[in-house]
Amino acid sequence: MPLFLIGFIVIAAILRFAALAVSIRNEKRLKAEGAVEYGAGTSTILALVHIVYYLAAIAEGLWRAAPVSAVTVAGVVIYTLSMIALAWVLLTLGRFWTVKIIIARDHELVTNRFFRMLRHPNYYLNIIPELIGFALALQAFGTLIVGLPVYVIILRQRIRQEEEALRGRFDAY
């Protein structure tokens, strides 16, 4: 595997662990303040599938030993844009952002234009492009073809649970 792709994998892992650290910190604080978690089982399954997807893409990339190509570059660009989207979502949601569905007592509904136009931008601008970009960068087409639909099925359940929790908490939702 080219050094470029090894570096990409390392950076992707660092970014994911950094986001997870933010999530864990926020989750602990929110729960200490009385926040309620919804859809815990789905969150666990989604996290496991995310890990398996990454590992499968890495394994397939190693097995395939594909050279750096236009597909690789496109994947890295898509992945990079997804991480920029994640940073924007983190800044927008601040202390309320976690990888779980957790609603605090003082939770504020984000109603900026972007969140009104595209519900769940974290999923549509970060997660899905992240998975697509990661697989393309490693030319892990099997992982993309099999793994992404599996992930999306679970993500749809997650979105339903989040919609239900938000509707139950915010009249304006």
Q: Please report the pLDDT score of residue 132 as a whole number.
A: 98
Name the 3-class secondary structure at 3.
helix
Apex 33 CA angle, 29 and 35, nearest 5: 90
Is residue 173's pLDDT more than 90? no
Complete DSSP assignment for 65-93? TPPP-HHHHHHHHHHHHHHHHHHHHHHHH
**Long-range contact set of residues 111-117: C-beta below 8 Å, sequence gap at least 24:** 111/172
- How many domains in the chain? 1
Q: What is the pTM of this model?
A: 0.93
The amino acid at 172: A
Q: How confident is the model at residue 172 (pLDDT cuts 50, 70, 90)?
A: confident
Residue 157's pLDDT band, with cuts at 50, 70 and 90, is very high
Q: Which two tokens stand for residue 3?
A: 């050094």
Q: Which domain holds residue 98?
A: 3-169
Give 90-136 pLDDT, tens digit per residue.
Answer: 999 999 999 999 999 898 888 888 888 888 999 999 999 999 999 99
Beta strands in 14-129, from DSSP E residues, in sequence order: 36-38, 101-103
Task: Indicate which CATH number applies to the domain containing 48.
Answer: 1.20.120.1630
Q: How many CB atoms lie within 10 A of CB 149?
A: 9
